Amino acid sequence: MKNNVITAMDIGAVIRKKRKDDGLTLADAAALCSVGYRFMSDLENGKATVQMGKVLQVLKALGLDVYIESRKWPNE
């Protein structure tokens, strides 16, 4: 699955979809990812101020990879 991510809400939506596709409850996913329930909930709901290190930890634990691709500037 390839997703275009621009906002924290986009990341949260991808994580929620993956969790549900895997049949995990929010509590199960939080435990699997070694983060708190509240953090997992905030992340899925697109809270923009969550800790980046923990976000990467969750993505890794859920088997989601991150790729960054450069875009051209609008005037190029």
For 11-59, the pLDDT digits (tens) are: 999 999 999 999 999 999 999 999 999 999 999 999 999 999 999 999 9
Terminal Cα-to-Cα distance of the chain (whole angstroms) = 30
Structural domains of the chain, count:
1
DSSP string covering 14-59, please?
HHHHHHHHTT--HHHHHHHHT--HHHHHHHHTT-TTS-HHHHHHHH
Residue 1, pLDDT > 80, answer no
Say which CATH number the domain at 34 has.
1.10.260.40
User: 0.85 cut: is pTM over it?
Assistant: yes
The residue ranking higher by pLDDT, 2 or 25, is: 25
Give the model's pLDDT for residue 58.
Answer: 98
Question: Considering the domain boundaries, does residue 66 fall inside one?
Answer: no
**Domain span including residue 37:** 8-61
Question: Considering the domain boundaries, does residue 21 fall inside one?
Answer: yes
Question: Considering the domain boundaries, does residue 68 fall inside one?
Answer: no
**12, 1 contact by CB (below 8 A):** no
Question: Considering the domain boundaries, does residue 48 fall inside one?
Answer: yes
Give the model's pLDDT for residue 45.
Answer: 98
Question: Considering the domain boundaries, does residue 74 fall inside one?
Answer: no
Question: Considering the domain boundaries, does residue 2 fall inside one?
Answer: no
User: CA 17: distance to chain centroid?
Assistant: 10
